[in-house]
Chain A
């Protein structure tokens, strides 16, 4: 495979994010780097607490207040580093350049405003000054995300809609600014299986039409296989493996990835917990110097426990497949 000549639209470099509780600091994103091309879908996979949502919130710079903050690193969006921008500048980036879809459609729309109001607000914030056409454009957006009866739904309140419908509205809101990147944080976890598939289809359609890049955060490898081009696997705040979906699924090179894949016997079946992996993911403040996965890893030895593994080429041999594991070459 040859490297893509275009520069990536989103390029995260050595990102470190921490939560500060008084004198106590917990690093929740540890030296994470990845990039997404235009028109590409990148999956970020991990258990809850792996730092995948914190990565998304760091990119948007809406970390929990007042405890969350970016410690260091760079977030390049189309050649501009978002780290260090003022709150005012970030306000214009959010929604307009990066859109976001949240996990739970039942709680992510404001209950006291109509869907139309929230959609129009998003449109107004995002470069359109023409207030005459706002309503028309909002309805067009609703139609775009396949909300039936869009004219009537425009005046509806969130509580009058189903979960799938609400999540479509949230999708429409994220599209309002025609962003270059959409970050979707487990957008289908709260939906029924059939609705999930429709929603994934919708995201694919939108991407095909607009060429937007999608960062899809999930714990569900089935969805990754279905939707993504590439993926990064996160564990305890770090990326442990990254590569194309084909490479990683065919030649998983980190024991954690292998375990994840083994716990999904059928690629289209959803799992909530990874029962197949013994032990619990570490709480982020109990991680030592070595490989974070060592305490749960069947192959771990003293080296693993004391020294952090380097980022090495993965087993597939592809130039864009990497994993961080001392035993990469030892495990058959």
Chain B
């Protein structure tokens, strides 16, 4: 198991390195970052000073290593839009809001999708299954940002049950969390259903039945524990699409998290902040995937004992 996890950890680090290379090379492909940082009427002296200050006169590899070194200690430079704060501060401040919303969306999708997927498989070709099918179909075809706006229109504007947007208590989170969860619910339901269908056909399910295990136990103890391996591996992907979702949904609902920050920073041409968000997201994402690998190893003895 340790070997497996070490392997996955190295994998994650390689991916992280690739991301840093992409981010770094993009910032250099874009032409001179100085242009973005100084006013148009800057003197040649100012330009030269800043160039030296930023180390842009040094070889590219040295610049990359400096970038890595700074990134490792969380130094991504100062924000251009939010004066007086470092990019890392700006991003960290908004992180809790994003995690709150993402966490709630994750919770909703698991709580809805797993039972629905299991029921759809156990009661194949019944109302549960039909519901799951329709949800899966709509989930793939509904753009999350539009769903958010429609929900806002119905429940906040027309019915007035919930606030339209902004940051606040749970009532502010319900609509954005549902909009974010929607696609995940459809994907997770489909996965759980097909994994359960496959497992329910297995011989060990038949053996559990013939040895006198009750049907509830057959489903949850014997079948679900095996079927759960598939949705769990999907949580890695889920983490990625929740990050994407946070950018989209936070923008729709003006939820002041990191996703909203990224879009606002792009509009304000605040490259250090965008760069920080991208790297933070990458780390979060890789971390989530590593947690998935650990869970995977815990639930499946074939890997744990490998």
A residues neighboring B (CB under 8 Å): 60, 62, 66, 87, 91-96, 99-100, 102-104, 107-114, 121-122, 125-126, 157, 159-160, 170, 173-174, 176-177
Contacts and interface: CB of A to CB of B under 8 A. Distances in A.
A34 B24 CA distance: 79
Nearest to B300: A112
B302 A157 contact: yes
18 contacts: A62-B206, A62-B209, A95-B211, A99-B211, A100-B207, A108-B204, A110-B222, A110-B225, A111-B226, A112-B225, A113-B225, A114-B301, A121-B211, A122-B212, A157-B302, A160-B305, A174-B211, A176-B211
A121 to B, nearest CB: 7
B204 A111 contact: yes
Contact of B207 (A66, A157, A173): A173
B301 A100 contact: no
Given A102-B207, A173-B207, A110 B212 contact: no
A112 B227 CA distance: 10
A111 B301 contact: yes
Contacts of B300: 111-112
Nearest to A121: B213
B197 to A, nearest CB: 11
Interface string B169-204: 000000000000000000000000000000000111
A94 B211 contact: yes
A109 B212 contact: no
A174 B212 CA distance: 10
B305 A157 contact: yes
Given A157-B301, A159-B302, A160-B305, A125 B206 contact: no
Contacts, number: 83
Interface of B: 124-125, 202-204, 206-215, 222, 225-226, 299-302, 305
Given A157-B305, A159-B302, A109 B204 contact: yes
Contacts of A95: 210-213
A60 B207 CA distance: 11
A122 B302 CA distance: 23
A109 B301 CA distance: 13
A96 B211 CA distance: 8
Contact of B211 (A111, A122, A157): A122
A173 B12 CA distance: 43
B214 A91 contact: yes
A173 B211 contact: yes
Contacts of A102: 203, 206-207, 210
Contacts of B299: 112
B208 A66 contact: no
Which of B125, B207, B226, B299 counts the most A-chain CB atoms under 10 A from its CB? B207
Most A CB contacts (10 A, CB to CB) among B210, B222, B302 go to B210
Contacts of A99: 210-211
A66 B225 CA distance: 22
Nearest to B205: A110
B301 A159 contact: yes
B215 A87 contact: yes
B273 to A, nearest CB: 45
Interface residues of chain B: helix, strand, loop or mixed (majority):
helix
A108 B226 contact: no
Given A110-B222, A157-B301, 20 more contacts: A66-B124, A66-B125, A91-B215, A93-B212, A100-B207, A100-B210, A102-B207, A104-B203, A108-B206, A108-B207, A110-B204, A111-B204, A112-B226, A112-B300, A112-B301, A113-B225, A121-B213, A122-B211, A125-B212, A159-B305
Contacts of B207: 100, 102, 108-110, 170, 173
B231 to A, nearest CB: 14
Nearest to B124: A66
Nearest to A176: B211
A112 B207 CA distance: 14
A126 B210 CA distance: 12
Given A66-B124, A102-B203, A91 B305 contact: no
Q: Which 8 residue pairs across A and B have the least CB separation, nearest first?
A: A95-B212, A100-B210, A95-B211, A107-B203, A94-B212, A108-B203, A110-B204, A157-B301
A89 to B, nearest CB: 11
Contacts of A109: 204, 207
B202 to A, nearest CB: 6
A91 B202 contact: no
Contact of B208 (A60, A110, A176): A110
Nearest to A105: B203
B212 A126 contact: yes
Contacts of A92: 212
Contact of B302 (A100, A103, A111, A126): A111
Given A107-B203, A112-B226, A112-B300, A91 B212 contact: yes
Contacts of B225: 110, 112-113
Nearest to B214: A91
A323 B300 CA distance: 52
Contacts of A60: 209-210
A173 B207 CA distance: 9
Most buried by B among A104, A108, A110, A121: A110
Contacts of A96: 212
Contacts of B222: 110
